Amino acid sequence: MLDLSRVDVHRGDIQVLWSVSLAAQEGKITALLGSNGAGKTTLLNAVTGLLRASRGSILLKGRPIESRPVHKIVEMGVSMVPEGRRLFPEMTVHENLELGAFARKARRRRQETMDLIFGTFPVLQGRRSQMAGTLSGGEQQMLTIARALMSRPKLLLLDELSWGLSPVATQAIFKTIKEINGTMGLTILMVEQNVSMTLETADYGYILENGRIVGEGRAGALLESEQVKNAYLGIGDL
Amino acid sequence: MPQVIIYGIITGAFYGLTSIGLSLVFGVMKHLNIAHGSLLMIGGFVAYWAFDRFHVDPFVSIPLVIGVLFVLGAALYKGVFCRLDALPEGHKINNSMLVGFGLTWIIDNLAILFWTSDVRAITPAYMGSVVELMPGMRVPLVGAGTVGLALLVIFSLHLILTKTYFGKAVRATAQDRDAGNLMGINVERTYLTFFALSASLAGIAGVVAAVNYSVHPTVGFEWLLKAIVILVLAGVGKIGRVFAAGLALGIAEAISVYFTGPAYREVVGLVLFILVLLYRSK
């Protein structure tokens, strides 16, 4: 579904990503793990076009997207839940969802998609006409996911879903993600600091350190690997 | 006294029209477009020429004015203002002011070149007519048209911003530009259309100015000062509040003229302006 090969990204004069190659398989959940400042968000922003890759190629279903404008990439089926939620706080839940279906094709199926989404997130239906800024943290995170699904994406990018959530709420959100992946057959690329919970949800994982991919493997295998245990879980043999 | 209030309301409705485009663009795009006054002046001249040459009623020529200013606004945005969009907010406000001042010079002097600096007014046949609401309360027909037009503009803008996808895109990008972009909104095109729309609003105000007062090449800057006072009174981005502030200023001016004579008309607005700045800064 998504293929990055040898991608470099700069923010201003500083190079953040160094020759990153990564693939997200169709229908699977791929996780990108790494500590703060490793370049995870930068990588997602390069996929959506908010940042430009200075070298390398990014293919969506075999078609290059690295030089297309953001709104075109969204129309092609990429949707992102940005870090820190980034809802439109002074608009209602309903309006936030409508904006999620802004792309022309999604707009036609708006009602149908919204009914489907209210099935997955019944809480949101009850709060339709409430301002998004007045929702609780967990509800806001549900709304960002729902909003991202309104465009009927093929590829869903999730940036730090656990941001600002309690462990219980995080667990609930991750369960929902697994369900969406199953029922909609959606390809998901998720970026997380919460390593153990993410690897239990994902199928495949990559480890990003200082802008370079330093490890990859099936999620189960990564969870068992010494590298991950030592660096992220704090349970390795020292 | 009721008569004074009526004149105040008419003036206030006009002030609201003058300020609304400036305020919306500032609220959404963070461009403080000083050239808004010059666009107003052009709107006035378009209506004037339509009336002078083809005897088109000024209120009838409004759609034409909207069209002309929309195109001009789009060109100004594409040619000039869109280059400032990448700047951080504070720089954008400062630079758009500088650019706007420059454009005001250019546009106003071109207008003098083409149309001379004569003061002109649109004087349709119904110019002096008044409607008597109650004994002693008379409403000039043109004034009633101005208030009606202002109401129509408020209502249409409200519908556009709350009911259409374009309006929602505008509000969304005003709250979070990148998030809006991620929804699939073509931010650049949305801004272009919105800027052009605000130029059209300046044009409408220009027609009203040319009918109620007069139009000449440097008239825009005089009205721009009013528009900025209202922008400060109203705060940013709420249509209703812009018109409420316009009315407040209009009525306050009318009352002061009633008591102290026209010499102090401008003083009232500026005193209000300073009071709001002092009060707000706390």
Give the one of A74, A95, A107 whose C-beta lies nearest to B182's C-beta.
A74
Environment class of residue B146 by beta-carbon count within 10 Å: exposed (0-12), middle (13-18) or buried (19+)? Answer: buried
Residue of B nearest to A90 (CA): B175
Tokens of A78: 């990429």
The residues that bridge with A4 in the sheet, in sequence order, are: A22, A58
* pLDDT higher than 70, residue A235: no
B-chain CB neighbours of A158 within 8 Å are none
Whether residues A88 and B176 touch (CB distance < 8 A) is answered with yes
Counting as low any pLDDT under 50, the low residues of chain B are none
Q: Residue B278 contacts by C-beta under 8 Å, 6 or more apart in sequence?
A: none
Amino acid code (one letter) for B125 = A
* pLDDT higher than 90, residue A56: yes
Whether residues B182 and A107 touch (CB distance < 8 A) is answered with no
Q: Cα–Cα distance between B33 and A13 in angstroms, integer? A: 32
What's residue B85's pLDDT?
87
Q: Cα–Cα distance between A74 and A89 in angstroms, integer? A: 22
Please state, rounded to an integer, the average pLDDT across all residues of chain A: 90
Whether residues A107 and B165 touch (CB distance < 8 A) is answered with yes
Q: Cα–Cα distance between B160 and B147 in angstroms, integer? A: 20
Q: Residue A171 contacts by C-beta under 8 Å, 6 or more apart in sequence?
A: A197
> Is the pLDDT higher at A69 or at A222?
A69
A-chain CB neighbours of B187 within 8 Å are 71
- Cα–Cα distances (Å) from B27 to A122, B8, B66, B188, B242, in that order, read 35, 26, 21, 16, 12
The residues that bridge with A55 in the sheet, in sequence order, are: A8
* Residue B169: Cβ within 10 Å count: 23
* pLDDT higher than 60, residue A78: yes
Amino acid code (one letter) for B112 = I
The confidence band for A12, taking pLDDT boundaries of 50, 70 and 90, is confident
Pairing relationship of beta strands A29-33 and A187-192 according to DSSP bridges: parallel
Q: Are B26 and B231 in contact (CB under 8 A)?
A: yes
* Residue B275: Cβ within 10 Å count: 11
Selected residue of B166, B171, B183, B185 to mutate for chain A interface (largest A Cβ count, 10 A): B183
Q: Cα–Cα distance between A63 and A73 in angstroms, integer? A: 11
What is the value of ipTM here, to two decimals? 0.89
For residue B145, which of B215, B203, B208, B69 has the smallest C-alpha distance?
Answer: B208
Q: Cα–Cα distance between A53 and A46 in angstroms, integer? A: 6
- Cα–Cα distances (Å) from B135 to A121, B1, B9, B10, B147, in that order, read 63, 13, 18, 19, 21
* pLDDT higher than 70, residue A77: yes
Q: Are B197 and B73 in contact (CB under 8 A)?
A: yes
- Asked if B138 reaches chain A (Cβ–Cβ under 8 Å), the answer is no
Residues A97-142 pLDDT 10s: 999 999 988 999 999 999 989 988 999 999 999 999 999 988 999 9
Phi, psi angles (nearest 5°) of residue A26: -60, 130
What does the buried/exposed string (b/e) look like for B9-21 if buried means 16 or more CB atoms within 10 Å of the residue's CB?
A: bbbbbbbbbbbbb
Amino acid code (one letter) for A6 = R
Q: Give the predicted TM-score (pTM) of the model.
A: 0.90
* pLDDT higher than 70, residue A238: no
Residue of A nearest to B163 (CA): A95
Give the one of B169, B171, B176 whose C-beta lies nearest to A102's C-beta.
B169
The confidence band for A234, taking pLDDT boundaries of 50, 70 and 90, is low
What's residue B162's pLDDT?
93
Q: Cα–Cα distance between B20 and A106 in angstroms, integer? A: 33
B-chain CB neighbours of A100 within 8 Å are 183
For CA atoms B173, B175, B176, B179, the dihedral sign is negative
What's residue A237's pLDDT?
54
* pLDDT higher than 80, residue A30: yes
> Is the pLDDT higher at A118 or at A234?
A118
Sheet holding A53-60, edge to edge: A14-24, A2-11, A53-60, A63-64
Chain A residues contacting B via beta carbons under 8 Å: 48, 50, 69-71, 74-75, 79-80, 82, 86-91, 95, 98-100, 102-103, 106-107, 147, 151
Residue of B nearest to A76 (CA): B184
